[in-house]
Amino acid sequence: MSYKTIVVHLDTSQHAHPRLEIALRLANQFGAHLTGAFAVFSPDPRSLYVMAGTAEYYQSHQEMRAERSAALERLFHAELRRAGVTGEWIAIDEPASVAIPRVGRCADLIVAGQDNPADPESYVGDFFPENLVLSSGRPVLLVPYASNDRSTGGRVLVAWDGSREATRAVHDALPFMQAATSTTILTINGEHDGAGTRIPGADIAALIARHGVRVEVADIETGRGGSVGEMLLSQVADSGADLLVMGGYGHARWRELVMGGATRTILRSMTVPVLMSH
């Protein structure tokens, strides 16, 4: 297995270009075709006419976005040529939460960004990253808005709890692990589980090793009342990992999206790219 088709979500946010750079590096590394899918949030203009001046603001904002979109499209094609990567640009005139999961279903990997509360242009819809993980059916590589220029996937940390979601994430991340210099399977509070209640980290590590991956297993304890999400972030920092792999836990409930505690913590506070599968 490898990633031969990658979709990267692009918008008018400050970190669209760094996200594109990461997607280009991955497309070059895996010999993949790269699709740049441009989709942003646009309010219904009819709702703005009830307030004085909002219609003019909306028009000027749309013009600014059109300029940024055109500049980003030119950059996208120039970067494709520079990197020697095949690809295509598609601009989608519908909500990103609908468009990107649909486009991503015809890809091996989706690259998207973390919400940045300091950049209004990064908002493309309520719970966009969560919705993308839960509805696309594909592995999603989420890039933090504070991302740096480090490589992605040289040192992989896998959050393992034996669940269906974690199992899916492990298999979806195999191309990264096969190219990595090190992979660590991390279980948290594994010693608290009774016999037969959780698949041990050593068992999934044996499967991974048969794919030619150098892998080790670690188990840590959070202590009473400790946060699994915070512990994962701490282990990422301590281990020097540049990619976290984990299952995305959550479900849709009437008028509400309910995510697991560790998933919420990582989506809010990630410091390195995170590959999530559901």
> Quick check: 54 pLDDT over 70?
no
Do 159 and 95 fall within a single domain? no
Does the pLDDT at position 49 exceed 80?
no
Quick check: is 149 in a domain?
A: no
Confidence of residue 1 (pLDDT cuts 50, 70, 90): confident
The pLDDT, as a whole number, for residue 184 is 98
Assess whether 9 and 135 both reside in one domain.
yes
Question: Which of the pair, 223 or 182, is modelled with greater confidence?
Answer: 182
Q: What is the pTM of this model?
A: 0.90
Cα-to-chain-centroid distance, residue 7: 11
Using 50, 70 and 90 to split pLDDT, how confident is the model at 52?
low
The H or E element spanning position 155 is strand 155-159
Note the pLDDT of residue 256: 45
Convert the pLDDT of each residue in 61-104 to its tens digit: 678 888 989 999 999 999 999 999 999 999 998 989 999 999 99
| CATH at residue 78 | 3.40.50.620
Using an 8 Å Cβ cutoff, are 213 and 178 in contact? yes
SS (H, E, C) 84-109: CCCEEEEECCCCHHHHHHHHHCCCCE
Residue 148 resides in a domain = no
The number of domains in the chain is 2
| The predicted structure's pLDDT at residue 255 | 39
Query: Is residue 259 pLDDT above 70, yes or no?
Result: no
CB count, 10 Å around CB of 264? Answer: 15
Residues 63 and 187 in one domain: no
**Averaged over 240-259, what is the pLDDT?**
72
* Mean pLDDT computed over every residue of the chain: 88
Q: Are residues 37 and 103 part of one domain?
A: yes
Q: Please determine, for residue 18, whether its predicted confidence score (pLDDT) is greater than 90.
A: yes
Segments forming the whole domain that contains residue 83: 5-143
Residues 74 and 120 reside in one and the same domain: yes
Same domain? For 116 and 182 the reply is no
Q: Are residues 161 and 65 in the same domain?
A: no
Task: Check whether 254 has a pLDDT greater than 50.
Answer: no
